[in-house]
Structure 1
Amino acid sequence: HALGVVFQSHEELKKGGKEVVLVYVAADRDEEVIHTLKRCGQENQIDGRCDMECFESVLKILPTDWLAVPFEPSSTFDVRAQLISSYRSGIFTLAFVSSDGKLHTKDGFKILDEWGVDAYPFTQERIQQLVHQSLHRASNQCLKSLLTTDTRDFLITPHGKEVADHTHGHRRSMQCWRKCLGR
């Protein structure tokens, strides 16, 4: 599920002309992951393959425009270990890092789940802006704000036809609501 959200979000961002570089850092075979898989009853996901084989199998399924930190188990300076210690916050981590290396957040999955690609460029400032907008909407809530979004200002009929006249849509919604309430 988590990677599916990242795949979908990355595609949306590309279609919107946003520049995002995704870099896969393998950490799948370390002791913490193995321990957690066992604790969750997922022993069947632990196989006898070596780390390099696991890494290569993941590379085969990654989109072609993603990058990956090479797997170098014999390297004296393990770049993967350095990245993991700097940015990891759980078993599967999606960290948003600026091009200059500044960490925006280690909670990328949570941000995508809550805000989607609207959170781009995934900075603390942008997240605060979204929180502020959400609080503003909640305090100034009306039927229009409940039924529309920033990117969709219409309703649809049961046949899928867009209705831009919100007054008509609101009146119909209120009529249906009253019928449901027996008024």
Structure 2
Amino acid sequence: MAKGDSHDLSSLLSTGERDFLVHNNGHQIKIDSLTGKTVGLYFSGSWCGPCRRFTPILAEVYQELSSKGDFEVVFVSSDRDDDSFGKYFSEMPWLAIPFADSGARQRLKELFQVRGIPNLVVLDGTGKVLSERAVQIVRDYGAEAYPFTPERIKLLKEEEEAAKQNQTLRSILASSSRDFVISNDGNKVQSQ
């Protein structure tokens, strides 16, 4: 798979026997309800330290973006048993491929060539792959990265670079509530 490839969400996330995802409250959500939404496929596992540190970051971004109504995350578990999956999934505010559907989970890992976790694959509303490795994008830019298009990420990187080029010692050390630093002897030194 490559960035720019397109997928039908329904055929991507369902199987012959299953046309729904699960919410951690136990409800089944029809896959068709994701049509037109930006969807993040979140490959993660409860046993993975980096995943456990990233999940709260993604949850915060998700909470901020979910009010827009056109962003959804789908957990694709790498857990080894249903109990571990259930406990970890209970910490997530989004949907998941049911743990029992190991075939679908494995197929998605292979399709998107997931070699390590956490991994976040972002698809646009038409099923086009926007990013195959969006974990770092979310870490760096949070909800500002939405809608995760290459153009949006390029703009954020350009703004970040411009800010670096234009920074001064004052812009780094001072804030709206403080225009001084403290010297090693405890005295205030005014910013110039």
Considering the TM-score relative to the shorter chain, is it more than 0.5?
A: yes
SS of 1:3 mapped into structure 2: helix
CA shift, 1:82, in A, is 1.7
Structure 2 distance, partners of 1:60, 1:10, is 15
SS of 2:130 mapped into structure 1: strand
8 Å CA contact 1:26–1:80 kept in 2: the answer is yes
Q: Among 54, 64, 69, which residue is 1:2 paired with?
A: 54
Equivalent residue number for residue 14 of structure 1: 66
8 Å CA contact 1:13–1:20 kept in 2: the answer is yes
Task: State the percentage of identical aligned residues.
Answer: 29
AA matched with 1:67: L
Aligned CA RMSD, in angstroms, stands at 3.3
Gapped runs of 5+ residues in structure 2? Answer: 1-52
Structure 1 consecutive aligned stretches of length 4 or more whose deviation exceeds 4 Å: 142-148
8 Å CA contact 2:66–2:72 kept in 1: the answer is no
CA shift, 1:180, in A, is 3.8
Q: Among 99, 103, 107, which residue is 1:82 paired with?
A: 107
Q: Among 156, 165, 174, which residue is 2:177 paired with?
A: 156
The structure in which a higher percent of residues are strand is 2
| Range 93-102 or range 52-61, more displaced | 52-61
Gapped runs of 5+ residues in structure 1? Answer: 30-50, 149-153, 158-171
| Range 93-102 or range 113-122, more displaced | 93-102
Report which structure shows greater RCO (CA 8 Å, sep ≥6). 2
SS of 2:77 mapped into structure 1: coil
Deviation readout 1:134-169 (Å, 9 max, x if unpaired): 122222334686579xxxxx8236xxxxxxxxxxxx
SS of 1:99 mapped into structure 2: coil
> Over alpha carbons, which structure has the higher Rg?
1
Q: Among 146, 166, 174, which residue is 1:120 paired with?
A: 146
Structure 1 distance, partners of 2:78, 2:133, is 17
Equivalent residue number for residue 86 of structure 2: 56
The structure in which a higher percent of residues are helix is 1
User: What is the aligned residue count?
Assistant: 135
Structure 2 distance, partners of 1:89, 1:146, is 38
